[in-house]
Structure 1
Amino acid sequence: MEEYAERLTIPWWLWLPGLGGAALLAAEIWMGSDGVRAWLPFVVLLPLAAVGLWWLGRIRIRVAGDELHVDDAHLPVRFVADVVPLDVAGRREVLGVGADPLAFVVQRPWIGGAVQVVLDDPEDPTPYWVVSSRRPVELAAALLAARDAARV
């Protein structure tokens, strides 16, 4: 049973400068030449930029059963001590100067919210996870509910 799912896609307005920059670079390479230099930069750079932008927005977050999945990483909810939903200022504070270097962080700058998942696993040196989320309160509630259900 999946209780929460989210994909950290790039918003449409960030695609415009990404593809625009690739088109500008292709035009700089082209510079009025004919032959292969007239079309090859556009054929190569625009799809490359599109694939790169898609790749940046591929991260999926889900709480399914008794695990939190963030891309390829997974965390059994039995090790979750607490979950704190963060707004932009809270995320900045958690990831700022005092951040623990052993923390697991999946942060996307175009997403304002995040959750801090505090861990209670004596065998893991990771003190907490910080994961970007567009709906941090819902993710925190789903994690806590999954943890409580796993403890029963």
Structure 2
Amino acid sequence: MNVAPASAAVVYSEKLWPNVWIWIVVVGISGAGILILAPISMLAGYLAAVGIFLLIAILLLTSTPRIEVTEDTVQVGRANIERRFVGSVEGFRGDDATAQRGTRLNGLAYLCIRGWIGPVVKIDITDETDRTPYWLASTRRPEKLVAVLTGRPPQSAS
């Protein structure tokens, strides 16, 4: 794994932030802190709710992966590879994306999947020294990522 030089121009960047419904769930879980500790003290309940919310928010935000493509490298989450080792690239939506994450998944594939993002991109790896056959990554813009990695204009979503 190589790190991109600071001077490499970024041609694609995406941060896989949690969706709004994830934050609604976090608020609901935090609210449970009030219900659990209210019989003891309302203040303790409110403090627990704030603490739980802050803890989960920090965990979500610090674990949010980035997809970044430069002229020389591709980074998906913690994985980095030189673009010369990128083979075919395909984007999937709907049932096809679900199948890629499930029944069609190779156990040796590198995964950077977020449950709140439906579409995925499959990036074949051609490095013979790497046992990983492909990367499978969640993305909100699969057509654009495929276009950047293949050099072809984006195809419309199906």
Q: Does the pair score TM above 0.5? A: yes
Conserved 8 A contact 2:73-2:82: yes
Which letter maps to 2:143?
Answer: V
Residue of structure 2 in register with 1:28 after alignment: 35
Q: What is the rounded CA distance, in whole Å, between the counterparts of 1:63 and 1:84 in structure 2?
A: 16
Describe the superposition over 1:63-107 as per-residue Cα deviations: whole angstroms up to 9, x where unpaired: 012111112211111111100011122222222234211100111
Q: What is the rounded CA distance, in whole Å, between the counterparts of 2:95 and 2:45 in structure 1?
A: 47
In terms of fraction of residues, the more helix-rich structure is 1
* Aligned counterpart for 1:9 among listed residues 10, 17, 28: 17
RMSD between superposed Cα atoms in Å: 2.0
Q: CA deviation at 1:5?
A: 0.7
Size of the alignment, in residue pairs? 144
- Residue 151 of structure 2 aligns to a residue whose secondary structure is helix
1:18 counterpart = 2:30: no
Describe the superposition over 1:102-132 as per-residue Cα deviations: whole angstroms up to 9, x where unpaired: 1001111111111101121211111111011
Equivalent runs, 1:2-151 vs 2, <5 Å: 2-24=10-32, 26-34=33-41, 37-56=44-63, 58-145=64-151
Structure 2 regions of 5+ residues with no counterpart?
A: 1-8, 153-158
- Residue 114 of structure 2 aligns to a residue whose secondary structure is coil
Pick 1 or 2: higher relative contact order, CA cutoff 8 A, min separation 6.
1
Q: What is the rounded CA distance, in whole Å, between the counterparts of 2:95 and 2:128 in structure 1?
A: 30
TM-score (norm 2): 0.81
Identity of paired residues, percent? Answer: 30
- Residue 122 of structure 2 aligns to a residue whose secondary structure is strand
